Amino acid sequence: MASKQNEPVIGHPKTVAELGQAIYSIVMRDRDLAKEDAENYRAIKAGTATSRPLSDHERRVTAHIQLMMNGSTPQHLLTPAISRGEQIRAERDAIAYVHRDLSRQVDLARYSEAETWVAENDKAWRALCRDIIICATRLFSLEERAREMLKPIEGVCVALPMATTIGRLSLLGIGDPLLDMRVAALNEKIITESDVRKARHVE
């Protein structure tokens, strides 16, 4: 028969990492309980189950559930167990309830941490976006210049370095591939019309 391990103490996890660790601890506890319950069942079927009175600790289902839930235990989980099998099932029910509650808390914690990250990184992110758009706008202008430069020899096979790559292909795409990005950046005040004009006029 598996030895009984103490139930995990969840405490008051707040961060995604702390909540993840709490979930891991109760999942491992549930696995141990399932294993013990299966061993008990096999022992009963084989007629080798050891008859013993439950200890005071095993009878205090209320205590371990309240410990895990910090006093927020549903009433239907507070009924004392009268056998080890029932005690295991009661604790596994409590674990399932706690698991669902912690999972909801994880979603809230992720959102909260994401909001904090945005507040801390907004300036750096906006600067990076600006650099990307300015560089892309400059590249677009350079590619346009290359195409214009090659028009006099268009359709003629001559030995000119990279004429079939830089002159014929675009790294950005056809049309105005930066339009949506540029409009979004202007609306978010990441760049200005002046920035765009300067980037287009590459020397």
What is the signed CA dihedral for 127, 128, 130, 136, rounded to 10 degrees? Answer: 160
The reply to whether 79 and 99 lie within a common domain is yes
User: Is this model's pTM higher than 0.95 or not?
Assistant: no
In a domain, 4, yes or no: no
Residue ending a domain, among 78, 113, 148, is 113
Residue 5 in any domain: the answer is no
Q: Does some domain include residue 11? A: no
Residue percentage of the chain with pLDDT more than 90: 36
Residue 80 lies in a domain: yes
Please enumerate in sequence order all residues whose Cβ is within 8 A of that of 174, keeping only pairs 6 or more positions apart, or say none: none
Query: What is the Cα Rg of the chain in Å?
Result: 33
Per cent of the chain over pLDDT 70 is: 77
User: Stretch 22-50: mean pLDDT, rounded?
Assistant: 85
pLDDT value for 2: 43
pLDDT of residue 3: 43
Same domain, 52 and 138: no
Residue span of the structural domain in which 173 resides: 121-200
- 162 shares its domain with 194: yes
Does one domain contain both 36 and 92? Answer: yes
Q: Which residue has the higher pLDDT, 203 or 22?
A: 22
pLDDT value at 80 more than 70? no
Domain boundary among 113, 141, 175: 113
Q: Same domain, yes or no, for 151 and 182?
A: yes
- Res. 177 pLDDT band, cuts 50 70 90: confident
Mean pLDDT of the chain: 82
Per-residue pLDDT band at 37 (split at 50, 70, 90) = confident
How many Å apart are CA 129 and CA 127, to the nearest integer?
Answer: 5
What's the rounded mean pLDDT across residues 8-36? 86
Structure tokens given for 127: 């600067």
When pLDDT is averaged across residues 162-190 and rounded to a whole number, the result is 87
Across residues 10-19, what is the average pLDDT? 83
Nearest to 98 by CA among 34, 171, 19, 199: 19
Do the domain assignments include residue 7?
A: no
Q: Please say if the pLDDT value at position 57 is more than 80.
A: no
- Asked which of 95, 113, 131 is the last residue of a domain, the reply is 113
Overall number of domains in the chain: 2
Residue 191 has pLDDT above 90, yes or no: yes
Residues 23 and 98 in one domain: yes
CA atoms within 13 A on the CB side of 176: 6
User: pLDDT tens digits, residue range 84-124?
Assistant: 788 888 888 888 998 999 999 999 999 999 999 999 999 99
pLDDT (mean) for 36-63: 69
